[in-house]
Structure 1
Amino acid sequence: MPYFAGKQRLLLMPQLHNYITGKWIAGDGEGQALFNAVTGETIAITSTKGLDFNAVLQYARTVGNPALRKMTFHERGNMLKALALYLREHLPLFYDTSYKTGATKADSWVDIEGGIGNLFANASLRRKFPDTTFAVDGDTHILGKQNTFAATHILTPKEGVAIHINAFNFPVWGMLEKIAVNLLAGMPCVVKPATVTSYLTEAVVQKIIASGILPEGALQLICGSAGDMLKYVTAQDVVTFTGSAYTGQKLKAHPQIISESVPFNMEADSLNCMVLAPDVEPGMPEWDLFIKEVRKEMTTKAGQKCTAVRRIFVPDNKLADVSRSLTAALMQTVIGNPLNEKVRMGSLAGQEQRNELFAQVQQLLAASQIIYGSLDSVEVVDADASTGAFVSPLLLLNETPWQQTVSHEVEAFGPVSTLMPYRDMEEAIALSKMGKGSLCSSIITASEKHARAYVIGAASHHGRILVLNNDCAKENTGHGSPLPLLVHGGPGRAGGGEEMGGIRGVKHYLQRTAVQGSPTMLTAITQVYQQYAKGNTGGIHPFKKTFDELAIGDQLITDKKLITSELIDQFADLSGDHFYAHIAGTDFNGTMFEKQVAHGYLLMSLAAGLFVDSYEKNPVLLNYGIDELRFTKPVYPGTEISVRFTCKEKLPQDKKEETDIDKGIVKWLVEIFDDTDEPLVGVATILTMVAR
């Protein structure tokens, strides 16, 4: 072990290791000391001095990237699921390490199990993608009148590496929520957590690497300075950053990022706000929800959240009542050692963070006054306030938010929020925008009118808005909780990026390419049948083939079926659908129709009778549904219809239990023709569950 030179003596300390180029490597030199945020004790040192960052990135590109690109979306998704299940087996270790960051059990749950939950959520997204190494994006566009020229878009993984530069406040969630997305997309990553809490990230990565679940080169870890790593990025790489707006803007302006046009996704700390609507009065459920939510957002993770509420806007005639209620709520917050079950707020991540916080608060006090809390003292349980990084929650009051604008400009990254008055909803909306772009905002209201006005008026400046009332009180996820299937990011000061958002998030790591050609050629390339492509006719009925035997483009041209007035009457009686257009005796003057017209669902039902292989058992297990059903032309009695039925796409399904039938979903293109064959009278995509 290397020696760390302290101010007065040398201490033999454990050293964190970087996981790079397939090995755990310690940096050269004395390194940086990392401290227990609760006790102030030195727990480890870390260094990246001497690391070859160019080699790190090249290893990801040449080893990790090819391995992930060979995997399908479904294989990558199942890999994430396996990793999530594995990490859950090591929760006690992660929690024990997390307490050293100053996090309470509840804080750690958000960080650790929230991060693992993100792996599960992204794993489930595999069902939104095909079981291929690439995906088709959006609709196909027919570009020629003869239907021989078309275009579509495909998504392929970039051939570089995702570099994640993360903040100190969520050492686990911050890593897992990002790597889940790039790994599902098929890109490897290098994770650079904030140094101060990197020991927790290292503990998780140790288990990830030991599991052997990820391909070699898919994940590398840098515990310490990123050095000159950005000097070696290329156009195929992606850089993401979470942290202060100032640092993010500095990194985004790196000459190599500019010259190579490297995608840069920034999620910056922002001046998020919460609005109490004018309709909410003391005693209403929404009043209690508001007070509870503000207190929670101020004290969770000791306010060290990029989504924490920094500005609180309330009607000017309720300012005094809100001040009293919030003060009473904050007084109930027990601060101290997070290992104590009574403690509800732990410490900041370290002394450096506390010093920065106090400097930021001093700037805010130029326009505000403290109405709860103290900069000078804090009562703690089972801890020493002088050695741990403890602070008191601070509620500030700015009575003139239009004139004293520092509250909209300076963020104190800790348990600090500023209370400000407004006169009407227009003012509340305008004040919310003075933060110049935020990750999230909340409005607490029982009024649909106020909710709509605020959301539509403030949406341009916020990445997410929570509308909170008594109806959703029990199930809402809270002001400060990003969800993996929703966009996490915001405009302006918040960075202008989107870290997550379900499929939207995955697409950040995929290259979208337009492909033009004949429908038949596009079918061969995409492995999704394109309308007007040549089909595979002849042979046995498609319904007699198993999932694996079916080929994209397998096609059936059916016999014809005569539509009669009697059939239309019978379907009307059977279904109860006696819409006037389906009744023969209707006066059709002034309508869109010439005479009695067949029900669209009658046509679809008759189409099924034409293409379904009847009576004998076959690999088709059940009808799974219908997508994109359109009726495009009226069909009158005396018309004959026929169907072109084509295997469009195949989606395998995972077994939930060992006893489950091995199966997949097959999408079929159903095209219904009349006597003229052109244009179609109906088109749909039906889904069947087919045995393998």
Structure 2
Amino acid sequence: MTSLKVHSYAAGDWIAPGSAARPIHSAVSGKVIAESGGGALDFARMLDFAKSKGGPALRAMGFHERATMLKQLALYLNERREALYEISYDTGATLGDHKFDIDGGIGTLFVFSSKGRREMPDGNVYLDGDLERFGKTGSFMGQHVAVPLHGVAVHINAFNFPVWGMLEKLAPTLLAGVPAIVKPATATAYVTELAVRMMLESGLLPEGALQFIAGDTGDLLDRLGGQDVVSFTGSAATGTMLRSTPGILANAVRFVAEQDSLNASILGPDVAPGSPAFDIFIKEVHREMTVKAGQKCTAIRRIIVPEEQQQAVIEALSARLAKTVIGNPREKDTRMGALVSADQKADVLTKAAIIGEEAERVFGDPDDFAVHGNVDRGAFLPPMLFHCADPDAATKVHETEAFGPVSTVMPYRDLAHAIALANRGEGSLVASVITESGDVAREVVMDAGPSHGRLYFNNPTSAAEATGHGAPMPHMIHGGPGRAGGGEEMGGVRGVLHYMQRTAVQGSPDLITAIGRRWVPGAAEIEGPAHPFTRSFHDLDIGETIHTAAREISLDDIEHFADFTGDTFYAHMNEEAAAANPFFPGRVAHGYLLLAFAAGLFVQPDPGPVLANTGLDNLRFMKPVVPGDSLRVRLTVKQKTRRTAEYGEVRWHVTLYNQDDEVVAEYELLTMNAY
């Protein structure tokens, strides 16, 4: 087989490996299949290329354009994923493992695309939180905003997920409007390189938006500044070394880390052997020990079970592990492939021996196990299950992560003890609990929450849709405190904000409106040439306003509305009871009557650009309306968001006033308008 040459992509050029390139061995056969690194890279030029070309091009696009780009990238990769599957077999991974990695990464692009289009504005400035008013008149106010950093994101990724690990970082980075330089682990760099080639060949990315390092980072990190971000996944030792880079410390470079994690799974005290919940627990632990041969940052390393259930758990889990076919990942019957390399196998065996000083191995002999299929000198190991009878006296089982198919069963006395054992990991990415008790779940959240980035609960009610202990979802944060690195990746828009600067802006309503492209009360109102419901999405201006005529609310209106709707609540129908209520002076109009009358005052009834009323937000009733009061409306275009080429969403600020110009109600109306 011809050895692959893993190229770097720097400043617009593909650069071949140099004389100091490192060989990459197949995890299955042990043969050299590729070489990577050693190429002469000009890191100063790479940074300039990203900041002078990639950054400005991405920032010019706006959130929705960048979100659309992510969707197109996902579709492009999805059509070519078979080639990524094929090249991934030499990493030791099975087809199921490939799908976890490659399909998971593509799915992450889709999720961030959707989040960007639905939860971020159709513009360049992200509004973070509510408006703050500092005075009585509202002439001076503040707003937190977030804008893209004018730097570069350096992504340093681990070997275990060569595609998903890259795309989980790349999706929020590009959505934020920041260019990226990706550096994968050498052992699986050839898979990442193929995915990068596909994305670049798609023509979807602006020049300079993505670069790729096959090999060492040289002096790159020391060249970074306060506008740059380093996002790292790997061991705690490597993370500490990188975080301590003089340039990173001196320039306050943002550093997001996902590191070692001794994740735990707790079998709830309410779960008995033979129950559906018990079966779910065994299935979850087995999956986390065998998927990717246990080489997952989220894999279950500590299995925490009630004292009286420990033997039942060992027997059930051992029986399931015994059915796991280990061998050539290309073989259809194989359920667990090889570790990524001989070095990784040796490291796992070393760490397993350390765990073995405090725990007994009850399943999986690394010197005596069957390997299925046609393999030679691959990095295969069996799943190894340990039992630590006294986890309180032990230390190494709570400190040592064997990054492979290794896990330890340990007993607990009561729930508080189980939580204490889980917390002895000193910070993890995830802890799971199999329970049907709400009290158990709440206690775990209160006492284990500070030590874990994610808490995953499962039981027979949720099992059909549960995503799994070890599956980080793009919608939720992925990271953890302490040993896990203290970082947070993904998490929807939260992940995007890692690559943006939060800034507090203060000024007049007109200036705050101009900055955020969202009208705020007190800003100028624009009188349009016609009723706004007759004007297309494209023609409407932010701040365009109409003031309606007034309508008097009569007692007959209130009684008719009550009779027609069936809402005969006493505040509307019983004068004495209403007057006794501290909120009302007597009988009052229904809040929804006011909304209906408001619509009657501002709606233009003829067919036109308004296609649909899709809801209302932030409804508040401020002052009761009594029979004889009058109602008028101010309707203002607050915000516009394109949804498709044919239509967009218009957010209207609606304020209801009485005859004394007092605000009686306020809300935001959403309509879809033809473009």
Please state which band the TM-score falls in when normalised by the shorter chain.
Answer: over 0.9
Contact 1:572/1:578 (<8 A) preserved? yes
Give the partner amino acid of 2:554. Answer: T
Judge which range, 196-205 or 24-33, deviates more: 24-33
CA deviation digits over 1:603-658, x for unaligned, max 9?
Answer: 111111111112x2221111110000000111111111211110000011126xxx
Which residue of the partner structure matches residue 674 of structure 1? 658
Contact 2:234/2:259 (<8 A) preserved? yes
Report the number of matched residues: 673
Deviation at 1:27, TM superposition (A): 3.6
Deviation at 1:537, TM superposition (A): 2.1
Partner SS state of residue 655, structure 2: strand
Partner SS state of residue 549, structure 1: coil
Query: Per the alignment, do residues 48 and 233 of structure 1 end up closer, same or farther by CA in structure 2, a change over 3 Å counting?
Result: farther
2:212 is aligned with 1:221: yes
Contact 2:22/2:38 (<8 A) preserved? no
Which residue of the partner structure matches residue 517 of structure 1? 507
Which residue of the partner structure matches residue 111 of structure 1? 101
Partner SS state of residue 80, structure 1: helix
Which residue of the partner structure matches residue 8 of structure 1? none
2:308 is aligned with 1:308: no
Q: Which residue of 16, 28, 34 corresponds with 2:18?
A: 28
Partner SS state of residue 479, structure 2: coil
Partner SS state of residue 477, structure 2: coil
CA deviation digits over 1:361-420, x for unaligned, max 9?
Answer: 1111111111001132331011446x1000111001111111111111010000000110
Q: Which runs of structure 2 are paired with 1:211-610 in the superposition (5 Å)?
A: 211-384=202-375, 387-537=377-527, 539-587=529-577, 588-589=579-580, 591-610=582-601
Partner SS state of residue 196, structure 2: helix
Give the partner amino acid of 1:374. Answer: D
Deviation at 1:49, TM superposition (A): 4.2
Give the partner amino acid of 1:681. Answer: V
Structure-1 separation of matches of 2:393 and 2:536: 72
CA deviation digits over 1:312-335, x for unaligned, max 9?
Answer: 001111111111111111100100
Give the partner amino acid of 1:621. Answer: L
Q: Which runs of structure 2 are paired with 1:133-282 in the superposition (5 Å)?
A: 133-282=124-273
- Percent identity, aligned pairs only, is 49
Structure-2 separation of matches of 1:426 and 1:41: 50
Structure-2 separation of matches of 1:434 and 1:69: 44
Structure-2 separation of matches of 1:299 and 1:182: 31
Give the partner amino acid of 1:325. Answer: A
Give the partner amino acid of 1:170. Answer: F
Partner SS state of residue 9, structure 2: strand
Contact 2:232/2:258 (<8 A) preserved? yes
Q: Please report the TM-score for the alignment, with normalisation by the length of structure 1.
A: 0.96
Partner SS state of residue 270, structure 1: coil
Q: Please report the TM-score for the alignment, with normalisation by the length of structure 2.
A: 0.98
Contact 1:35/1:43 (<8 A) preserved? yes
Contact 2:2/2:33 (<8 A) preserved? no
2:619 is aligned with 1:629: yes
Give the partner amino acid of 1:228. Answer: D
2:670 is aligned with 1:687: yes
Partner SS state of residue 553, structure 1: coil
Which residue of the partner structure matches residue 64 of structure 1? 54
Contact 1:18/1:48 (<8 A) preserved? no
Partner SS state of residue 196, structure 1: helix
Contact 1:168/1:193 (<8 A) preserved? yes
Deviation at 1:147, TM superposition (A): 1.5
Query: Per the alignment, do residues 122 and 451 of structure 1 end up closer, same or farther by CA in structure 2, a change over 3 Å counting?
Result: same
Contact 1:195/1:225 (<8 A) preserved? no
Give the partner amino acid of 1:132. Answer: G
5+ long unaligned stretches in structure 1: 1-10, 656-661
Structure-1 separation of matches of 2:502 and 2:38: 36
Structure-2 separation of matches of 1:279 and 1:624: 44
2:657 is aligned with 1:665: no
RMSD: 1.3
Judge which range, 577-586 or 509-518, deviates more: 577-586
Deviation at 1:427, TM superposition (A): 0.2
Deviation at 1:233, TM superposition (A): 0.6
Deviation at 1:57, TM superposition (A): 1.5
Query: Per the alignment, do residues 378 and 55 of structure 1 end up closer, same or farther by CA in structure 2, a change over 3 Å counting?
Result: farther
CA deviation digits over 1:88-131, x for unaligned, max 9?
Answer: 11122111101010000100000011101111111111221111
2:92 is aligned with 1:102: yes
Deviation at 1:457, TM superposition (A): 2.0
Contact 2:8/2:39 (<8 A) preserved? no
Deviation at 1:584, TM superposition (A): 4.5
Judge which range, 52-61 or 581-590, deviates more: 581-590
Contact 2:139/2:509 (<8 A) preserved? yes
Judge which range, 134-143 or 176-185, deviates more: 134-143
Judge which range, 517-526 or 99-108, deviates more: 517-526
Deviation at 1:449, TM superposition (A): 2.3
Contact 1:395/1:416 (<8 A) preserved? yes
Structure-1 separation of matches of 2:421 and 2:629: 64
Judge which range, 472-481 or 54-63, deviates more: 54-63
